[in-house]
Amino acid sequence: MSLRATARIAADADGGLPLLVSDGPLALRRTRTPGPYTRVTVVGAMSAPLGGDRLAVEAEVREGARLLVDSAAATLALPGRDTGPAAYDVRLRVGEGAVLRWLPEQLVSVQGSELRMRTVVELAATARLVLREEQVLGRYGEPPGTLTTRLTVRRAGRPLLDQELAFGPGAPDGWDGGAVLGGHRAVGQLLVVDPAFEEKPVEPRLLGEHAAVTPLAGPAALVTAVAPDALVLRRLLDEAVAALAPF
């Protein structure tokens, strides 16, 4: 039987978490961290998402709050008894003067799985955001499942970014070709939104051989990277976070 679950987080400026609701395989834990952030870690309570599952995480960072959300382990998209695709929705809202660092572990697309992941972010005009997504295509030595991800970000009610990626069986031809992955097994995106970029926009540049920083039409920068494995990908994106988001 497929699963339906929605976990919810709300963070206040005083460091409180007035809403912290776990559901099904999505267990939320408040964890310690140095510095000014309230930290929540997503802990997988069971194997998910499986075929047919419908999972969601919702987070609201209220005015002036600073929230860091990470996860305890990678998420594995797995095949299940239900032959339909699984869905994983992330819905984020960041208020005026608030900061969200959304830094989950990798999503691994296991052979035979099919997952559609959608992330929607609503930012106030003075909000700041660091959002990392990492996809690993198959476990060691296996081909990937089918994975479609879409990231949609609006700032002050206006579109900032709308990007969709598709990999594996059923994806458009060329997804593993030289113009996309070039045979690499790990792909990642890092989005940094900071009102300070309005006065000093980010310069486009390469990060090594297979990563690039691109300024967006707004106070934001997008880093895209491919790598042979998850460790190399993480190192690239960690360097980008340190350079672009010292807050």
Per-residue model confidence as pLDDT tens for the chain (247 residues): 688 999 999 999 999 999 999 999 999 999 999 889 999 999 986 677 988 999 999 999 999 999 999 999 999 999 987 778 999 999 999 999 999 999 999 999 999 999 999 999 999 999 999 999 999 999 988 999 999 999 999 999 999 999 999 999 989 988 988 878 888 999 999 999 999 999 999 999 999 889 999 999 899 999 999 999 999 999 999 999 999 999 9
How far apart are the C-alpha atoms of 105 and 140, rounded to whole Å? 17
Residue-number span of the structural domain to which 130 is assigned: 4-195
Per the structure, the count of domains in the chain is 1
H or E segment to which residue 213 belongs: strand 211-215
In a domain, 191, yes or no: yes
What's 221-240 look like in SS3?
EEEEEEECCHHHHHHHHHHH
In a domain, 162, yes or no: yes
In a domain, 173, yes or no: yes
Tokens of residue 154, six digits: 């609006």
CB 145 within 8 A of CB 115: yes
**What is the side-by-side strand order in the sheet with 146-155?**
19-21, 4-11, 54-61, 86-94, 114-123, 146-155, 158-167
In a domain, 73, yes or no: yes
In a domain, 201, yes or no: no
pTM comes to 0.96
In a domain, 222, yes or no: no
